[in-house]
Structure 1
Amino acid sequence: MGVRAAIERKIKVLEVYGDSALVIYQVKGEWETRDPKLIDYRKMVIELVKEFDDITFHYLLRDENQMADALATLASMIKVNKQEDVKPIRMSIYEISAHCYNIEEDEEKDDHPWYHNILQYMKNREYPDQASENDKRTLRRLAIDYILDRDILYKRRKDQVLLRCVDAVEAKKILEEVYEGVCRTHANGFTMARQIMRFGYYWSTMEGDCVNYAKRCHKCQIYGDKIHVPSSPLHVMVSPWPSLCGA
């Protein structure tokens, strides 16, 4: 629509900026277009490009295109008739983001990793101080699923695959790398937990930490898809009154 509007205004030199890498690089010809819908879309854009003397396409990161996203969201919320006069909208840009994190960081209880008791038991058959008989029994049962190789503790899954146990510091680095590292998948918490296990790492609160980490991502909260599914499942309700149709 923007390219067509430029043609209607008889603009001959145009610079196009878009935050969709797929669309921009396919139009430029750097990426191959395989989707049948995008093939027709690219052909249409190529035909429109011929109307310009000079046109260039540039990929713009979403972080640098927040104003366009805000205007597009605002335009989708307002319905204006052609005969109405639209008053100018005054907008202010603040240097500091007007958002905050509602989820607080969990404080570490002590300097020991979560698997300290299991490690000490498998190393020296030692129990924690002031441990009851029930605690000792539970620790022995938990230790069955772990394997100690020198100083490295591994968690054994049901399929006999070994996962290296990591502490809180290593877990934080793994979360940052998997979520927004080289590939920047920005997957949801449950998908990220499965990815970390495929990479061969494990800690006891992994799934909950992944979910909370994804909730803290400001980019995903802004650009994430809107979920229209109800928060709780819907159930069919039977009328409490008898039907009077046969009366």
Structure 2
Amino acid sequence: MKLNPAKCSFGMEEGKFIRVIVTGAGFKANPDKVQAVARIPSPFSLKEVQTLNGRLVALNRFLANHAAKSYPFVSTLRNYLKKAKFRWITEAEQAFLEVKKCLMELPTLTAPYAGEPLTMYLSASDIAIGAVLLTDRKNVQTPIYYAKDLMLQFSSCKVIHIKKSENKSANALSKLASTNFEHFAKDIRIEILDLPSIPQHKVLVIQTGVESWMTPITAYLSSGALPEGKAEARKIKHKALNYQIHDSVLYRRSFLGPLLRCVDAEDMNYLIREVHEGICGLHAGPRTVVGKLMNAGYYWPGMHLDAVHEIRKCDSCQRHALNMLRPKNELVPVTSAWPF
């Protein structure tokens, strides 16, 4: 295996990467894409307008307020969907010349640094909303990203300009968190609430820590607590040799496998149903279900009997099981009183 010299470049000051020119200062538009739009004549057919829009899409990240500038082209396509009725109007021609002029002065986009303050400028018109994200480098504002969005994509949209004199309340409200109350003007009223405005509702206490088969074993391993009866205490000591606690969770030791997490009756029913009839369930028998549960790392006493009890409740297994020809009860031999 060896590198292809025709596809390798080292020590380059700039290079083409994913349709843009990457330099040390940032990203520049591909000159081939720019010349493809600059050399195209004024469209005189519906297909030529579609070609123009497609070429402008490759340069939209470098065009400021691209949505508003390309709106006449979109409007032309929308008004003249049929080739026979196509007309290249004066408004579209002026927008086409303006776009060509802008392509000759495309900016170089740069990448922001971590924690660097950025500045955003918004531009709104009757047909589009545009925004540009800038960063200040050596007292020169350099663009990072142009955003655009056509209002015509919405069913209804309305942009209202609010004068500064009519926005005093909202401006003061935005500064409440970082301004001293004593310096506010008299026309701003502040109400301090000593108590919550929403009444507190009574909440019922939920019982936690329900006892299960794990409770005495966990108590003995955690604090050495044992039941009062000697026989029961000796039984718990003997059982606890096969268990251990890790991060407040009880596990059972296995001989050749990893630790098995112990579960209670509520989790037991869910695990059996999930393995038996879940997303990847095979509606297998109790032995297979128990084997899959232990391979997944779960354990509780009487796993096989619980699996048999839960699987018998499966409606699908009862409907689609094979018809058994065996009698429900054992056959009883009957001796004939008269052998002939």
Higher helix share: 1
Higher RCO (C-alpha 8 Å, min separation 6): 1
Q: What is the TM-score when the length of structure 2 is the normalising length?
A: 0.34
Structure whose alpha-carbon radius of gyration is higher? 2
Higher strand share: 2
Q: What is the TM-score when the length of structure 1 is the normalising length?
A: 0.46
